[in-house]
Amino acid sequence: MRDFSNDLSSLALNTATLGHNLDGYGAGWSTEQVIDACAERGFGGIVFWRRELANNAISIGERVRASGMQVVGLCRAPFLVGPLVDAGGARAVHDELLRAIDLAAALQAPVLTIVAGGVEPGSKGIVESLSVLADRVAAAVPHATDCKVKLALEPLHPVYAGDRSCLVTLRDALDICDRIDSTQVGVAIDVYHVWWDTTLQAQLERAGSSRILGYHLCDWLANTSDILLDRGMMGDGVAHLVNLRQWVEDAGYSGFCEIEIFSANNWWQRSPNEVLDQCVERFKSVC
């Protein structure tokens, strides 16, 4: 297992950790400020959200690399199934997914994260929705291959199954990978969503190094007050972070550890400098 006590080269910031993903939160730092603050602290990489990039993806990617970091990924594809899919149906979903892939390519991000979306309107249970999801991901694989962007299916905690993600276990994510059978498609492992899963270690072994495309850090607060916007800083909750990383690395993963904390009433209320300092401290000591 890698020793991070004095090595930040594998540490990445998901910019949502500074509150940038919802209007009205965060300190309003520009993307450039975020890049510079991460670089100053020795972060190895950074992950952006589509809304931050506008028409600046190429120059933002260049600024990250010039500062000595890597663009680790792009958050995220549009919802592909379920009630939160934008109007326009399957065709519009497909087109928007391709545009997200294009944006990742412009940024030179190697991975685009896919949050599935929930249960298809008019259907019950998750099986049918998972099948539609698999078809829609598969349809984007040729374009993703051309763009050299890998697609990372991120299972979310089951509490989101209805609206945000019918994909709730690593098992089902890997079943979709098997079905699509492309080296372009893999999974993202997020502590927040999988910490409770007693089958996780076996499924990580099944995934192997080639399919684990990302590892996301935060913590699950035992007394969480909001399932979307009350994620914990690493060490403040009940996830066994050391075990989880051990399993991910035992499976062959040696990539970035991306801190991704949505915390409307705590961390997003603090100065970004304080949040970044805490990220570094906790990464060194408890992850």
When binding is defined by CB under 5 A, the residue of 157, 216, 245, 282 that contacts Zn ion is: 216
**With respect to Zn ion, which residue has the nearer C-beta, 29 or 215?**
215
**With respect to Zn ion, which residue has the nearer C-beta, 63 or 157?**
157
Least distance from C-beta 183 to Zn ion, angstroms? 22
Binding segment toward Zn ion, per CB under 5 A, in 29-37, 190-198, 218-226, 265-273: 190-198
Q: At 152, is the secondary structure helix, strand, or coil? A: strand
Least distance from C-beta 68 to Zn ion, angstroms? 24
Least distance from C-beta 159 to Zn ion, angstroms? 15
E strand intervals along the chain: 11-14, 45-49, 70-75, 111-114, 150-153, 185-190, 212-217, 257-259
* Maximum pairwise Cα distance, the chain: 52
Binding segment toward Zn ion, per CB under 5 A, in 173-181, 234-242, 256-264, 270-278: 256-264
**With respect to Zn ion, which residue has the nearer C-beta, 53 or 156?**
156
Least distance from C-beta 44 to Zn ion, angstroms? 17
**With respect to Zn ion, which residue has the nearer C-beta, 213 or 276?**
213
When binding is defined by CB under 5 A, the residue of 52, 96, 172, 190 that contacts Zn ion is: 190
Residue 157 in the binding site for Zn ion (CB under 5 A): no
**With respect to Zn ion, which residue has the nearer C-beta, 63 or 197?**
197
Q: What is the DSSP string of the chain?
A: ----TT--TTEEEEGGGGTTTSTT-S----HHHHHHHHHHHT--EEEEEGGGTTT-HHHHHHHHHHTT-EEEEEE-PPP-SSTTSPTTHHHHHHHHHHHHHHHHHHHT-SEEEE--B-PPTT--SSHHHHHHHHHHHHHHHHHHHHHT-EEEE----GGGTTTTBS---HHHHHHHHHHH--TTEEEEEEHHHHTT-TTHHHHHHHHHHHHEEEEEE-B--TT-S-TTTBPBPTTSSS--HHHHHHHHHHTT--S-EEE---BTTTGGGS-HHHHHHHHHHHHHHH-
Least distance from C-beta 225 to Zn ion, angstroms? 20
Least distance from C-beta 87 to Zn ion, angstroms? 26
**With respect to Zn ion, which residue has the nearer C-beta, 136 or 164?**
164
Binding segment toward Zn ion, per CB under 5 A, in 101-109, 174-182, 227-235, 257-265: 257-265
Least distance from C-beta 237 to Zn ion, angstroms? 15
**With respect to Zn ion, which residue has the nearer C-beta, 50 or 63?**
50
| Contact residues: Zn ion, CB under 5 A | 190, 216, 260
